[in-house]
Amino acid sequence: MSTKDIQQLIDFISQSGLDEVNIETTDLKISVKRYGQGAPAAPAAPVAPVAAAPAVQAPVASAPAAVATPAVAAPKADTSNYITIKSPMIGTFYRSANPESPMFVEVGDSVTEGKVVCIIEAMKLFNEIESEVSGRIVKILVENATPVEYDQPLFLVEPN
C-alpha cells in the first residue's frame, strides 16, 4: 500500500463519518480509529516500513468529529414480515446513478431479485447494490448521499 493509497483512505474516512477502519494486506496492517476533535488518534501498526505510520497518524488526528449517520427510524408498525436489504460494505449511499437520473427505487416500487436498488461508493468505486428478494419497497431507511456502515439496513421490503 503506497503513501498515496493511505492518504486516500484517510480522506475517505474523514469524509464518511466512520469511527473505525481496519485494513490488512500481506505487507501492511492499518487500524484507524477516530474519537473526535482534540482526542488522540490510534496509531497505525505497520508490518511494512515504519515511515507509513506518521502519514496515517497526522491527518487522522486533525480529522473532524464523527458525523452521526442520519437514518430514519423503522416504522412502528409490525415489521416482522419485512425483509431488510443491508449494506454489504462501508461507503456513501446513493439512490441514483447521478443527480439528473431518476432514483433506482421509491417507496411502493416492486423489485425483483437482481434489480439495482442503490449505489454505494467506496474508495472512488461505485458499486451497484442489487435486491436479493422480490417484493415491494416499504421503507427507505437511509438518506441519499450519506455514509453507511457494513450491514446497515438500507431498505425494508415486503416479500411477494
Q: Distance (Å, rounded) from C-alpha 64 to C-alpha 82? A: 37
Residue-wise DSSP of 46-109: -SS-TTHHHHHHHHHHTPPPPPP--BPPPPSS--TT-EEEE-SSSEEEESSSSTTSPPS--TT-
User: What number is the average pLDDT over the span 41-64?
Assistant: 47
| pLDDT above 70: residue 131 | yes
What was the pLDDT predicted at 52?
45
Q: Distance (Å, rounded) from C-alpha 31 to C-alpha 9? A: 11
Q: What is the pLDDT of residues 9-23, one digit of tens each?
A: 777 776 776 677 777
Q: What is the pLDDT of residues 89-106, one digit of tens each?
A: 999 999 999 999 999 999
What was the pLDDT predicted at 103?
95
Q: Which of 120, 123, 93, 94 is nearest to 23 (CA)?
A: 123
Q: Which range has the worst mean pLDDT, 23-27, 45-49, 88-92, 149-153? A: 45-49
Give me the domains of the chain, ranges plus CATH numbers. Answer: 3-61 (no CATH), 83-159 (2.40.50.100)
